[in-house]
Amino acid sequence: MDKTMEQATPQRKKIHPQKFMLWVAMASIIMMFGGLTSAYMVREAQGNWVIYKLPTVFYISTVVIIASSVTMALSLRAFKNRLMPRFRALTTATLILGILFGIFQVIGFYQLYDINIRLDGNPSGSFLFIIAGLHLAHIAGGIIALLIVFFRAFRTKVKIYNSVGLEMVSTYWHFVDVLWIYLFVFFLANQ
């Protein structure tokens, strides 16, 4: 009877320990940005706040990061289906789009600086530069992870089709994508 009970009890699927740590890290990043955007709103309500429009390049960078999220998802699917040429092409596209996002963000910072929205100026500019700059730092971390995936993708032979590392990079990349969309909408709503 004990043997029958064992067979009837489903096994709990365990999360990979590294994936669990990634989720913990992402939760802490959410709390950090939640605190920063809350502080932004509190400080804005106190007055002495400069209203400005985000440069068009931030809109372009948003489209670019969404496109990179699509290529990342397709890259993971190609890897799982063992379509290595497609996986390599999509990984390359994701990496290029990620770098383009960073370049467009820096261009946007320069354009803001040109209209006197600065880190050391009015608090509205300071908050924007700090929040968007921290996001860009997290994008840089994602680009480093994408570079590792990129170089591994172009190795001569894949011996083991273990997708855990790629799944983690994909999860993180989608996370920073959604985080930017949240921040972008937040900044637009507070213009």
The string of DSSP codes covering 111-141 is: HHHHTT--TTSSHHHHHHHHHHHHHHHHHHH
- Please write the tens of the pLDDT for every residue from 99-144: 999 999 999 999 999 999 988 889 999 999 999 999 999 999 999 9
Q: Write down the pLDDT at residue 14.
A: 80
Q: Write down the pLDDT at residue 7.
A: 56
CA 162 to chain centre: 23
- Please write the tens of the pLDDT for every residue from 8-41: 556 667 888 899 999 999 999 999 999 999 999 9
User: Under a CB-based contact definition with an 8 Å cutoff, are residues 50 and 115 in contact?
Assistant: no
Say whether pLDDT at 145 is over 80. yes
Lookup result for tokens 């994408």 = 146
Tokens representing 152? 């591994």
> Nearest to residue 116, comparing CAs of 66, 51, 167?
51
Lookup result for tokens 């300071």 = 126
- Domains of the chain plus CATH, in order, are 16-189 (1.20.120.80)
